[in-house]
Structure 1
Amino acid sequence: MNEFWPWMLLAGLGAFHGLNPAMGWLFAVALGIHRQSFIAVVQAVPAIALGHALSIALVAGAVVAAGLFVNQDVVRTATGGALVAWAIWHHIFGHSRRVRIGLRTGLAGLALWSFLMATAHGAGLMILPALIPLCLAQPPLPEIGGIGSAAMTIAAVGVHTLAMLAVTSLVALTVYHWVGLEILRSAWINVDLLWTLVLLATGVGLLIVA
């Protein structure tokens, strides 16, 4: 079970990211409604997932690369502090720093928007508790550890992105085809507040472990 929990956490966080309207499914639905096309929704979701994956990979790659040269406890402490700071910043300033893009954007613009949104929300930082035990189990600067860590990081980003893609697709297509955007007024929870709490709890957890 100890070997599988990081992968389960990566998939679970991918599902959570896919469930968050700010990560893209809401934009995909709005794009489909604007263009009156179910195909527009289908085309938008992979572009959103690609931008999300690039943001995740950028953060994960930087932290894993640093972990090859720095003690793992230092990485945990720095990551935990960054998560707590990001949670506070997101709660205070996040609503006034939304990335805006028009409904006439192409798929490249949509991928760029997704990349910026995921980065602004600290999505890459959120998955680091799962990445650290997977990719930084070796001591600093191992001979072959760099290659192994890179491969493990790619696999981890892939698992997270596939889970995010699956949930984003399911929610976007369900809302567009059957439910409608009215659900956001009546039955939707405050995912943004939940996101901030998860960032904060993850950071505190890393600081305690470190």
Structure 2
Amino acid sequence: MTTLTAVLLGAFHGLNPAMGWLFAVARGLQERDQGVVLASLPAIAAGHLASVAVVALAVGLTGSLVTATALTVLGGVVLVGFGLWRLLSDRHFRWVGMRLSHPQLAAWSFLMSSAHGAGLMLIPLFTGLHAEGRSLRGGVEVAALHTLAMFAVAGAIAIVVYRVAGLTVLRRAWFNVDRMWALALVVAGGLTLAQA
């Protein structure tokens, strides 16, 4: 169940343009090169993995269920609070430009994944692994599976959008997933608090 949940949440993260596929498409369209889209995706996935791994390691290194429970409650409160802030806020995260090196792109992905609560959403999985006594290795495996699913979905969407739609269709037809993402954070936070 933990593996399936990690993969499904990774796929959900991959759907979200804020997790990087839109940035990869924009870079590819700017350079008029599909190779730029493909080359951007591993750096984006590496940043996402780092963001999720920080949370996995924090839970895995606690060493006690009391600390893990405190992290669960704290994570749940942060998820609900951050989700409510995103639901009620009109502000959107901005970045300075499109011309980034791959390390800069990975750093951008780390910041965006962290700011959007990507690792926090997995706290119930990480604390469950901790309770089972396989927190560190299991947490790394969950983070890797989660990121692979995110990478696969984001990559597929990026290529389809780049080759078929381009940004003009996105301007006309794409709905804003920020509200859906914020609601998902609130729900995940509520579930986290219910399990604590």
Q: Work out which of the residue numbers 46, 49, 55 in structure 2 matches 1:50.
A: 46
TM-score normalised over the length of structure 2 = 0.91
User: Identity percentage over the alignment?
Assistant: 41
Distance of 2:34 and 2:40 partners within structure 1: 10
Q: Which of 1 and 2 has greater Rg?
A: 1
Residue equivalent to 1:165: 151
Residue equivalent to 1:130: 125
Residue range with higher mean Cα deviation, 191-200 or 127-136: 127-136
Deviation at 1:61, TM superposition (A): 1.2
Deviation at 1:116, TM superposition (A): 0.6
Which structure 2 residues correspond to residues 47-126 of structure 1 after superposition, within 5 A?
47-66=43-62, 68-71=63-66, 72-93=68-89, 95-96=91-92, 98-126=93-121
Q: Is the 8 A contact 2:56 2:140 kept in 1?
A: no
Deviation at 1:19, TM superposition (A): 0.7
Dislocated runs of 4+, deviation >6 Å: none
Distance of 1:189 and 1:63 partners within structure 2: 35
Distance of 2:54 and 2:94 partners within structure 1: 19
Deviation at 1:187, TM superposition (A): 3.5
TM-score normalised over the length of structure 1 = 0.86
Q: Work out which of the residue numbers 130, 137, 140 in structure 2 matches 1:151.
A: 137
Distance of 1:94 and 1:10 partners within structure 2: 29
Q: CA separation of 1:64/1:94 partners in 2, compared to 1, >3 Å: closer, same or farther?
A: farther
| Alignment root-mean-square deviation, CA | 1.8
- C-alpha offsets along residues 29-58 of structure 1, whole Å, 9 cap, x if unaligned? 010011111110010011100011001101
Please list every run of 5 or more consecutive structure 1 residues that lacks an aligned counterpart in the other structure.
Answer: 139-147
